[in-house]
């Protein structure tokens, strides 16, 4: 039983510490130099999928119009997923400013909206965004130079969560997880290609874009499609996007369940990438280490706790079990008092448990065959 305990422990530690360390050492040995030559700027289509976003769409349009990219080279397309509020009325106010409005006849979800937006886009590069995301004015300028490298098919930016209300947020530790993700994506990019990008800021060559089934998420599957075709996916940490940090752990919990479910659905769709005989060692190794093991981490924790119960005859294993119980107790306390100001002592275990419990439920939703769900964004 000790062997089983240490296997579960070792794989879990590898997932969150070992793999980033491996990337660090690999990156130290193999440093890639990016080509950022000057060239003629391509035309760009910024595609914003929106559903009932009347509270945020005006700020999004104003932000898009203020981007430091030549106005004649940037078109902005808002795709309304059959919005029922005043989203489309607000967009119509800007039709004279190179803003296009496309309304879907029936609600079909974000992927369908992006497919239709890409179909009418005239830009050589497509940038996909959410209506609630605000870009740094230089974000597009940071992304575009990567396309000077013909091997690059997709470029993702960096999402930063902000807390405008300034009060202690029970999900503040989300940013710790995002910093880990930023490190991993950067190191993967420096070596060969990354596998994860944020859906609110990423760009694809128009000629490489493929419409995807509505039950898949383009920000995960489309980069994998490009990797399958031999292109690189790049993470640009200086291309910044901002979103408000969710205040409701329940919303974040539901969002993470969906993220894991659609991620597993997308990975199943692209399962051929796990074949090392066809794609070499790096792609299967990276996908397993970066994605699959994280989604499987709740099962590692369950295995760790279960095996620990059979090893209580020594002080070490008894202490290990007590430590696990304390972590879950602190998370429960943090959830109960989530609407109060809670310290990191509670918020870190709380977010850790949100990640793993949502992954656990997301896995079983995938196994049960749940595939399609039209998602609503969080609103204050």
Question: CA-to-CA distance for 235 and 157, rounded, in angstroms?
Answer: 6
Q: What is the pLDDT of residue 88?
A: 95
Residue 218 and residue 199 in contact, taking contact as beta carbons nearer than 8 Å: yes
pTM across the whole model: 0.89
Domains and CATH numbers, the chain: 44-285 (3.90.550.10)
In this prediction, residue 230 carries a pLDDT of 95
Kindly state the DSSP code that residue 288 receives in the 8-state scheme: I
Give the residue ranges of the chain where pLDDT is below 70.
30-39, 164-175, 247, 339-342, 371-380
Closest among 94, 222, 237 to 153, alpha carbons compared? 222
Q: What is the pLDDT of residue 123?
A: 96
Closest CA to 123 of 42, 208, 233, 187: 42
- pLDDT number for residue 380: 41
Separation of alpha carbons 108 and 80, rounded Å: 10
Q: Are 219 and 47 in contact (CB under 8 A)?
A: no
Q: In the prediction, which pLDDT does 57 show?
A: 96
The helix (H) or strand (E) run that includes residue 256 is helix 249-269
The pLDDT assigned to 64 comes to: 97
Secondary structure tally for the chain: helices H, strands E: 15, 8
Between the alpha carbon of residue 147 and those of residues 72, 266, 289, the distances in Å are 19, 25, 27
Q: What is the pLDDT of residue 35?
A: 52
What local confidence, expressed as pLDDT, does residue 379 receive? 47
């Amino acid at each position: 039983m000790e062997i089983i305990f240490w296997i579960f422990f070792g794989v879990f530690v590898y997932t969150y510490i070992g793999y980033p360390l491996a990337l660090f050492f690999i990156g130290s040995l193999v440093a890639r130099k990016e080509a950022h030559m000057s060239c003629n700027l391509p035309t760009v289509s910024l595609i914003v999928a929106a559903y009932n976003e009347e509270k945020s769409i005006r700020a999004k349009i104003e932000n898009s119009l203020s981007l430091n990219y030549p106005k004649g080279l940037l078109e902005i397309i808002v795709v309304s997923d059959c919005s029922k509020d005043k989203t489309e009325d607000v967009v119509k106010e800007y039709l004279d400013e190179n803003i296009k409005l496309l309304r879907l006849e029936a609600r079909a979800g974000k992927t369908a909206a992006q497919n239709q937006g890409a179909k009418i886009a005239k830009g050589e590069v497509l940038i996909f965004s959410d209506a609630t995301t605000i870009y740094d004015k230089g974000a597009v300028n940071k992304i575009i130079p990567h396309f000077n490298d013909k091997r690059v098919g997709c470029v993702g930016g960096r999402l930063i969560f902000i807390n405008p209300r300034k009060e202690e947020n029970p999900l503040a530790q989300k940013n710790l997880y995002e910093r880990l993700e930023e490190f991993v994506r950067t190191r993967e990019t420096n070596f060969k290609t990354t596998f994860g990008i944020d859906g609110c800021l990423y760009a694809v060559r128009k000629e490489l874009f493929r419409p995807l089934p509505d039950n898949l998420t383009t920000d995960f599957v489309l980069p994998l499609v490009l990797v399958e075709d031999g292109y690189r996916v790049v993470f640009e940490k200086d291309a910044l996007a901002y979103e408000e940090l969710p205040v409701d752990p329940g919303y974040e919990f539901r969002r993470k369940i969906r993220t894991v479910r659609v991620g597993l659905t997308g990975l199943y769709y692209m399962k051929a990438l796990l074949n090392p005989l066809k794609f070499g060692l790096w792609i299967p190794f990276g996908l397993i280490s970066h994605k699959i093991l994280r989604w499987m981490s709740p099962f590692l924790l369950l295995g760790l706790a279960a095996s620990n119960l059979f090893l209580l005859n020594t002080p070490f294993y008894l202490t290990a079990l007590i430590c696990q119980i304390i972590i879950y107790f602190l998370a429960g306390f943090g959830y109960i008092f989530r609407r109060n100001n809670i310290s990191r002592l509670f918020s870190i275990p709380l977010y850790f448990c949100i990640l793993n419990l949502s992954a656990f439920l997301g896995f079983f939703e995938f196994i049960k065959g749940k595939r399609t769900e039209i998602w609503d964004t969080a609103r204050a």
